[in-house]
Amino acid sequence: MGGDTAVRALEARMADLSGWAAEIFDFGETAWREYRSAALYTEILRREGFSVEEGSGGMPTAFCAEWSNGAGPTILMYAEYDGVPGNCQRAAPVKGPRAGLSPEAGGHTDPHSGLGISALGGLLATKAAMEELGIAGTLRFTGEPAEKVRGSKPIHAARGYYDGLDAVLSFHPFYMLPLCNTARWETHCGAAYAMVYRFRCDRPEDWGRVEGMPIPQAHSAARAPGATEALVTMFQASKALRDSMLPHQGGWSISEAILTAGQATADNLPSGLAELQYMIRVPSVEMAERVTAALDRNAAAAAAMTGCTWERHWVCKSRPGLANHAMAEVAWDALREAGPPRWGPEAERVARECLAAAGIDWPADAHPFLHETERLISPEEAEALLRCDLPPSQTHSTSDDYTEMCWHAPTARIYVGRPTLAASAPGWVMNALGGIPATIDPMIRTAAEVLARAALRLLTDEDMRLKARAEFERRTGGGVGGDRWLAPLCDYDPPVGFRWPEYVETVRGREWWIPAGP
């Protein structure tokens, strides 16, 4: 009920949605530093009649918005809007950073710029249909920063922002075949832990100390190795142990990033501070705990060798996903009603310019976009193809933090095709296609329609809501708090105080913390 009304409302707002997506893309803000992006969302939502809590969960760039049309079900959708450092690409069919920025600045890869605005479009179209047709219920919309480090959703979950929901609709642009224009069925994303190991060399005089013989301070004298050496030792040891910490199948990973430089000076003084972030993507919480224990041992050994102390600070502790076939059916029905995105002549022209700029010779009579982005695949068929490459014992695959929401309400995970070339192209091409209106707008429009149709179905179809709730209670052993329910793992404050890469204001203007070259 209300799908056609929502579509009319969506068509009337497409120019707005396209402009907003272009703004978020151009902001290119990264994890925990999405100030302009969050401000744009909250301004729009307030203008559209939503009540908005800024800084939700103690996170400066998060928010929680709500609008009600009377007593009824509560449906959650959400926006992500963080980009990735080192991916500063302008919205143009030629390789190059956005104006005035270095290539090391942030940019959108997935793209979260289109993800969040698609969800906003679905939200506003649903609201318009509810108002016109008198459909009762509540819409909740959360702003989820730092998804690339799985940051906000564990915190929102632990602090009650997903409580009291009847359903959650989670959308992501297609990024991995066969999950394109479909919904996840049984195999959902796995668990993830992320943490920052901080090394401090605040008492270098204690390293190698012999009673009565303090370390001399001459430039030729021995000194404590310091925090940089601790970081390098930790980095190398963990690399060496990676095959032992993870299974040799299933696509699980450990990745790292150096957050803080060594703080070295030109004098013969040890570096005093270094920080190393790890992200662990694994099938289960138990395995995440085992890997963390191994990393802790490496950190302790590295600190002892180099005259440092060490601390572990949590960035995220995220649960694996929980399937709900009833919700996947709702999403699949909405996808079939909406149909897949289509890339027309203008999008094809842009794609061919990208191919030429990348030095790829593409036949003039061949459609440049990946076939799968313009066709539907059922959740069951996608599941069967996904399982072909996984061992039978593996219950989860890949990584994303929508999984946090699965434990609080029946959740659908929806994938809609993003502009993807049929030819293998450099990464800058995918990034550019995610910011050019002619190529990204078809995804935004389709995803927004799918979300609106699914939300209206859930608001008006009590039988389907009950079916989804019954499955949720069966899989959790009684719902929230049930025998098989996983409680939030977050027992830490928002990790916003680290040296996360960001834009800064200087006398030169606004720039990335690594300035652009000459």
Co-location of 276 and 353 in the same domain:
no
Residue 15 counted as domain residue: yes
- CATH number for 49: 3.40.630.10
- CATH number for 278: 3.30.70.360
The confidence score (pLDDT) of residue 207 equals: 79
Residue 490 counted as domain residue: no
Q: Could you list the pLDDT tens digit for every one of the 518 residues in the chain? A: 788 999 999 999 999 999 999 999 999 999 999 999 999 999 999 999 999 999 999 999 999 999 999 999 999 999 999 999 999 999 999 999 999 899 999 999 999 999 999 999 999 999 999 999 999 999 999 999 999 999 999 999 999 999 999 999 999 999 899 999 999 999 999 999 999 999 999 888 777 765 544 555 555 666 788 899 999 999 999 999 888 888 777 778 899 988 876 665 566 778 889 999 999 998 889 989 999 999 999 999 999 999 999 999 999 999 999 999 999 999 999 999 999 999 999 999 999 999 999 999 999 889 999 999 999 999 999 999 999 988 898 899 888 999 999 999 999 999 999 999 999 999 999 999 999 999 999 999 999 999 999 999 999 999 999 999 999 999 999 999 999 999 999 999 999 999 999 999 988 888 999 888 76
Distance CA 49, CA 124 (A): 10
Co-location of 176 and 32 in the same domain:
yes
Residue 330, amino acid: V
Co-location of 389 and 379 in the same domain:
yes
The confidence score (pLDDT) of residue 197 equals: 97
CB 192 within 8 A of CB 283: no
Distance CA 202, CA 307 (A): 9
Co-location of 350 and 233 in the same domain:
no
Distance CA 408, CA 279 (A): 24
The residue segments making up the domain with residue 264 are 192-318
CB 107 within 8 A of CB 101: no
Start-to-end C-alpha separation, the chain = 58
State both tokens at 121. 């479009």
Supply the DSSP symbol for 97: P
Co-location of 378 and 410 in the same domain:
yes
The confidence score (pLDDT) of residue 219 equals: 59
Residue 491 counted as domain residue: no
H-run or E-run covering 194 = strand 191-200
Q: Final residue of a domain: which of 266, 286, 318? A: 318
Region class of 194: left (phi > 0), else alpha (psi between -120 and 50), else beta: beta
Distance CA 24, CA 301 (A): 43
Residue 87 counted as domain residue: yes
Co-location of 71 and 21 in the same domain:
yes
The confidence score (pLDDT) of residue 265 equals: 59
State both tokens at 130. 């509810």
The confidence score (pLDDT) of residue 220 equals: 61
Co-location of 396 and 344 in the same domain:
yes
Distance CA 253, CA 397 (A): 11
Give the list of residues 6+ apart from residue 304 with CB closer than 8 angstroms, or none.
Answer: none
Residue 204, amino acid: P
**Overall domain count for the chain:** 2
